[in-house]
Amino acid sequence: MPSVFIKTFGCQMNERDSEAVAAQLVAKGYALAASEHVADVVLLNTCSVRDMAEQKALAKMTHIAGLARKSGREPILGFMGCMAQSRGKQLVEALPDVDLVLGTQKFHRAAEYLDELLAGRRDKIVDTDAEAGSQAAIREHLLTGNDKKAISAFVSIMQGCNQHCTFCIVPFTRGAERSRTIEDVVGECRELVSRGVREITLLGQIVTSYGKRDYPVKDGRSAFVQLLEAVHEIEGLERIRFTSPHPKGYGDDLVEAYRRLPKLVESAHLPVQSGSDRLLKLMHRGYTRERFLSIIEKLRQVQPGMGLSTDIIVGFPGETEADYEETVSLCREVEFDQAYLFKYSPRRDTPAAAMPDQLPEEVIEERHRKLLVIINDLAARKYEAMVGQTVQILAEGPSHRNAARYEGRTRSNKIVIFDGSERHRGQLMDLRIERAGSFTLYGDPAVVGME
């Protein structure tokens, strides 16, 4: 029985793809290996969004191949996902130990290709072709976080992106937008709920573009909101999340959905990228600072406790001190609960990589360092402000920070650690927040009330 180890780089979409490949292989009789050092098959699921993510995956593979050679082992080595897609056969040329390169439309073929490689019928396989319908081909779930049943699951609703932001490689790695049908997505969600899942996160590169070409607007509701309504109907499902939306796609129908659909939790990840209109235009984002702020205001009107997170790029080509200060002031104005900060990284074939005024690394580093302090400080205050409040959490399992304790998340997407046990798994609980740590809250078990 061959064993497989999968290491994932990058976003939640990648995590989901890895889980689906693992589930597919387990169904074919593979065992999940404890580490890359003992596995018969090692797969790296890669990210291309910044150069650093690619370099990490390349270094990891070189390291694994070197160790395997030294110990006389010959595991099957493969790259899959975004870098596999964008670099293709270059990868086997550069790293001769690599046997498999599996593109972003080919995850469902992993088992078939590994069979051929393990049986020695083929020596190397590189498949990065487009495949019609591949957006619906990934549906298997493992559902075994910490060897126990998972309470929260990701469901991929679409693939690809048509936005072509000038900094972004994703349209090249994930292809054009393709959506699954509402029935297909709902069917998968229903099955998950029947297996004990209580929270579902709908995933896509730009979920607000879901089904645009397939489902016309109905009663003022976009295809994505129609999908949310259909998932909301599922009995036994407690919470719905989604990521990532595009600010441009935040119509009033979606804002209203937070009021109408109680299972849709008050949490949104809204990537702003910059606070400067000039840069937003150069980035090809399709909204202004003012429009972004008005969406935030509307969301807070509907749900005052809305948890808000964002992505920000510092050091985009031509970013002046004044542009940077606009981003800082936007952060102060919005007070995000969490902001993911990225240093601009030129990506091949993107328009921004060819723009004039690429900034020196020191400038990018310095702005990144300063903004990180500001963002963390703002977030810390948000977390502090929750001390003393009683909040509902969904208990998910042993804490990732301390396995002796338990953790769950608030509806606004904050992690809460408390003294819990397996009997709490999957429970909605009210906890009083006693203390705030770095991006973590601590709830008091003495005042646990079960719903």
Stretch that binds ligand 5AD, among 117-125, 134-142, 257-265, 343-351 (CB under 6 A): 343-351
Dihedral pair phi/psi, residue 41, rounded to 5°? -135, 130
Is residue 25 a contact residue for ligand 5AD (CB under 6 A)?
no
Cβ contact 177:158 at 8 Å: yes
CA dihedral 282, 284, 289, 291 (to 10 degrees): 150
Cβ contact 406:398 at 8 Å: yes
Minimum CB separation of residue 367 from ligand 5AD in Å reads 13
Would you say 247 or 408 has its CB closer to ligand 5AD?
Answer: 247
Q: How many residues bind ligand 5AD (CB under 6 A)?
A: 12
Minimum CB separation of residue 275 from ligand 5AD in Å reads 13
Would you say 75 or 315 has its CB closer to ligand 5AD?
Answer: 315
Minimum CB separation of residue 168 from ligand 5AD in Å reads 5
DSSP 176: S
The H or E element spanning position 269 is strand 267-269
Minimum CB separation of residue 273 from ligand 5AD in Å reads 6
Cβ contact 86:47 at 8 Å: no
Is residue 342 a contact residue for ligand 5AD (CB under 6 A)?
yes
Would you say 24 or 166 has its CB closer to ligand 5AD?
Answer: 166
Question: For ligand 5AD, which residue of 43, 110, 255, 313 counts as binding (CB under 6 A)?
Answer: 313
Stretch that binds ligand 5AD, among 76-84, 203-211, 229-237, 340-348 (CB under 6 A): 340-348
| Per-residue x/- track, 48-87, ligand 5AD (CB under 6 A) | -xx-------------------------------------
| Residue type at 215 in one-letter notation | Y
Is residue 105 a contact residue for ligand 5AD (CB under 6 A)?
no
Would you say 274 or 399 has its CB closer to ligand 5AD?
Answer: 274
Distance of CA 209 to the CA centre of its chain: 16
Stretch that binds ligand 5AD, among 18-26, 153-161, 183-191, 338-346 (CB under 6 A): 338-346
How far is residue 136's CA from residue 156's CA, in Å, rounded to a whole number?
8
Helix (H, G, I), strand (E, B) or coil at 311: strand
Task: Name residue 178's beta-bridge partners.
Answer: 159
How far is residue 280's CA from residue 286's CA, in Å, rounded to a whole number?
7
Is residue 250 a contact residue for ligand 5AD (CB under 6 A)?
no
Would you say 28 or 284 has its CB closer to ligand 5AD?
Answer: 284
Question: For ligand 5AD, which residue of 204, 271, 420, 443 counts as binding (CB under 6 A)?
Answer: 271
How far is residue 77's CA from residue 36's CA, in Å, rounded to a whole number?
10
Is residue 311 a contact residue for ligand 5AD (CB under 6 A)?
yes
Question: For ligand 5AD, which residue of 25, 91, 153, 168 counts as binding (CB under 6 A)?
Answer: 168
Is residue 210 a contact residue for ligand 5AD (CB under 6 A)?
no
Q: List Cβ neighbours of 136 (8 Å cut-off, separation of 6 or more).
A: 180, 181, 184
Question: For ligand 5AD, which residue of 45, 273, 413, 427 counts as binding (CB under 6 A)?
Answer: 273
Is residue 345 a contact residue for ligand 5AD (CB under 6 A)?
yes
Question: For ligand 5AD, which residue of 167, 224, 250, 258 counts as binding (CB under 6 A)?
Answer: 167
Dihedral pair phi/psi, residue 129, rounded to 5°? -70, 160
How far is residue 217's CA from residue 27's CA, in Å, rounded to a whole number?
39
How far is residue 248's CA from residue 159's CA, in Å, rounded to a whole number?
18
What is the total residue count of the chain? Answer: 451
CA dihedral 196, 188, 13, 233 (to 10 degrees): -80
Residue with tokens 């509307």: 298
Tokens representing 248 are: 């441009």
Distance of CA 424 to the CA centre of its chain: 26
**Using alpha carbons only, how large is the chain's radius of gyration in Å?**
22
Question: For ligand 5AD, which residue of 9, 79, 344, 406 counts as binding (CB under 6 A)?
Answer: 344
Would you say 39 or 314 has its CB closer to ligand 5AD?
Answer: 314
Task: Name residue 269's beta-bridge partners.
Answer: 309
Cβ contact 267:411 at 8 Å: yes
Minimum CB separation of residue 355 from ligand 5AD in Å reads 12
Is residue 287 a contact residue for ligand 5AD (CB under 6 A)?
no
Minimum CB separation of residue 420 from ligand 5AD in Å reads 32
Would you say 13 or 395 has its CB closer to ligand 5AD?
Answer: 13
Contact positions toward ligand 5AD, by CB under 6 A?
Answer: 49-50, 167-168, 271, 273, 311, 313, 342, 344-345, 347
